[in-house]
Chains A and B, each alone.
Chain A
Amino acid sequence: MNKVFIIIKREYLTRVKNKTFLLSTFLFPIMMMLFIFGSVFFAVSGRQKQKIAVANDPGYFRQNIKIDSSQTIFDFTPGTDSLNYEAKGYDGVLYLPGDSSSDKYVIYSKKQIGLEPRGQLTRQINKAAENRLLQQRGIQKEILDSISLQVKNAVELVNVVPEKNGKSKEANAGLAYGIGFGSGILIYITMFVFGAMVMRGVMEEKTNRIAEVMVSSVKPFQLMIGKIIGIAGVGLTQFILWIVLIFGLSLLASAFLPTELLEQAKQANNNVPGMAQNNTMALKLLEAQQTLSGVPWGLIISCFLFYFLGGYLFYSSLFAAVGSVINEDPQEAQSLMLPITMPIIFAFIILSTGLSSPDSTAMFWGSIIPFTSPIVMMGRLPSGGVPWWQLALSMGLLIAGFLFTTWLAGKIYRTGILLYGKKASWKEMMKWAFRKS
């Protein structure tokens, strides 16, 4: 046992002290936060409003449009056209169509109009056109507005999901979807990343010819387990650092960013329905903030760590077995890895197709069978409603599963690591695994 600990320590420390590890651990969250807040920041502020001249307003447009909105300012000074708008200091000039319905709104500008101003412009024009048509058909706009306001306030879809302890809880499908997908994909990626790390470690020992030196001191199984646990420690360290860093950084970032953002979110909420989409990002942020507290974070984070570890242990020993039978050429690994990577990819497919209905048969079986459960169960958990017995069964099977794969891989590893020259096939590996020692 003591020897396994010495091996774990070496495997852990050599990797944690590695520059790539430090770089990826500290840079990833910083980059991510920079990216998210950067894009939000630029979306909200720091953009110049587009000054648009309207060349031929027959009158209805001026009445039905918000002249100064977040992205655009309209100007109705007559005499501006596509030839002189630049000289007059406008970013573009808009031509309204005549009465024929096939005519189009045409805008001349020197530079392509950005995606967001263009979206807003389109919405404004649509609104104006809609109002105009309402007027023409004799429908009062106020009546329509009051109807849509009534509809908005009165009719709301609330999905009530029964909880086991009798309480009912409003489920936020979108958020659950996001969290489930996010954690599933994270486990999917880490299983590959850390599984490959184990495989490379084993290959390194074999190609460096240190394997035989090692197994004259320790049992091959101790060497394999030590490596697997050491690398699991590396993975956990990275996750915990990421969680802490992201949490810390978002606290830091929220200190100066969202005041403005939330202000806009509130404003957007109070606006007329048509204008409400103005800043969807700010709205979503507000909504997310309100519902984020409703997610069972304790359960999700602890299950995430369990399924990360369980899935990792389940697959990494298989990766170790593959690493032990191949030689210098990493390409040899490709064909041998296929039977391992297939179920992982399959699990991901179940997750991505089944997320919209977390209680479907595919999702149920996928979350129970240990080959796919680490990824699929994480997709089911955030939406709630996973009975405790299913969770317990899934976890129990995963534990049994990784004990089995570790035992199996240990037997392959023991033979493979001392075999030089040729690569073994899966058939041979299975023969080693099941022969009596």
Chain B
Amino acid sequence: MQNILEVKNLKKYFATQKAVDDISFNIEKGSIFGLLGPNGAGKTTLLRMITGIFYPDSGEIMLDGKKFDPINDVAKIGYMPEERGLYKKMKIGEQAVYLAQLKGLSRTEAIHKIKDWFVKFEMQTWWNKKVEDLSKGMSQKLQFVITVLHQPKLIILDEPFSGLDPVNANLIKDEIYNLAQQGSTIIFSTHRMEQVEEICDHIILVNKGNKILDGTVKRVKNDFKENLFGISFEEKVLPEHTAIHLFQVVEKNEHELVLKKNEGFSTNDILQYFMHKGLTIHSFHELLPSLNDIFIRLVEDTPMARQFEQITAS
């Protein structure tokens, strides 16, 4: 499959920070891509370069197979920044039309599309209201509509669910799937791991300006598995059942065990062992680490906060 976005050796140094230090990655067309990282990792700087707000110090961005042109490609990108807002005193309909026009839509086209979206999100009565009349969740929905209105090929959402209740979060989530199915590519930037696990196909993890992880969600989890298995039995588990060199017990309940398989043995060895012991096995499954665990493990070894230092451009 073709890549919608290719980022090569991107660098952006500020006076006291290597905000983005040599990051490369590719995003497939139609995928949902997760950009993860702790606060201050350089996510926003990276996104600002991809949206043309910042110019990279060095490196290359290819959008849809061509070199990214910040001026003419704005229509291809829809960006919902983390620091987002709208003109408080402006009427909602008018404001949506204005922002759509700035993305290159004609007035009639914009009005038509906004009305469609307003129907979809049950916002028809909002047209003549002002943004200051909206709750945080409502303005979030409006912001989402404005971001995707011009049918961008690449949609970039920075913490899209912050401030949304579960019902509205699901509404937006469904729309994200819909848009991906219709061929848009979505970059989803967050530090909320459970959402990423659910939505994203592919992730990268950045920390302190560097990419420290890159792959599909499944592969990443596999790479970080710790040979943990959950097993449950009909009978009560007794101490003599677990005295064996095949595994170590990590957690123990009356009918359940969490095991860590020792090096050099297979899962079948373990199952055979328990069967020989005369225990009836109800379930046996591998316990893969959650992205949250991986994230914490990777990030916690490094100093929590970024340190300020003088950077001289190389």
Contacts and interface: CB of A to CB of B under 8 A. Distances in A.
A210 to B, nearest CB: 5
B90 to A, nearest CB: 7
A432 B133 CA distance: 37
Contacts of B38: none
A213 B89 contact: no
Contacts of A208: 85-88
B237 interface: no
A163 interface: no
Interface string A1-42: 001001100100010000000000000000000000000000
Interface string B65-105: 00000010010010111011111111000000011011100
B98 A6 contact: yes
Contact of A3 (B81, B89, B102, B146): B102
Scoring B87, B88, B90, B103 by chain A CB atoms within 10 A of each residue's CB, the highest score goes to B87
Interface in B48-70: 48, 51-53, 55
A209 B55 CA distance: 21
Interface string B136-149: 00000001001000
Given A6-B98, A10-B98, A418-B53, A216 B74 contact: yes
A218 B99 CA distance: 10
Nearest to B53: A215
Helix, strand, loop or mixed for chain B's interface?
loop
B55 A213 contact: no
Interface string A209-239: 1111111111100000000000000000000
A212 B81 contact: yes
Contact of B84 (A3, A204, A205, A212): A212
A420 B88 CA distance: 19
A437 interface: yes
Contacts of A3: 102
Given A3-B102, A6-B101, A10-B98, A217 B74 contact: yes
A213 B84 contact: yes
Interface string B231-248: 000000000000000000
Contacts of B53: 212, 215-216, 418
B83 A216 contact: no
11 contacts: A14-B90, A204-B87, A208-B85, A208-B87, A209-B83, A212-B81, A213-B80, A213-B86, A216-B74, A216-B79, A218-B74
Interface of B: 48, 51-53, 55, 71, 74, 77, 79-81, 83-90, 98-99, 101-103, 143, 146
Given A205-B87, A213-B79, A216-B77, 20 more contacts: A6-B102, A7-B102, A10-B98, A204-B88, A210-B84, A212-B79, A212-B83, A212-B84, A213-B99, A213-B143, A214-B102, A216-B51, A216-B52, A216-B81, A217-B74, A217-B102, A218-B74, A418-B48, A418-B53, A437-B55
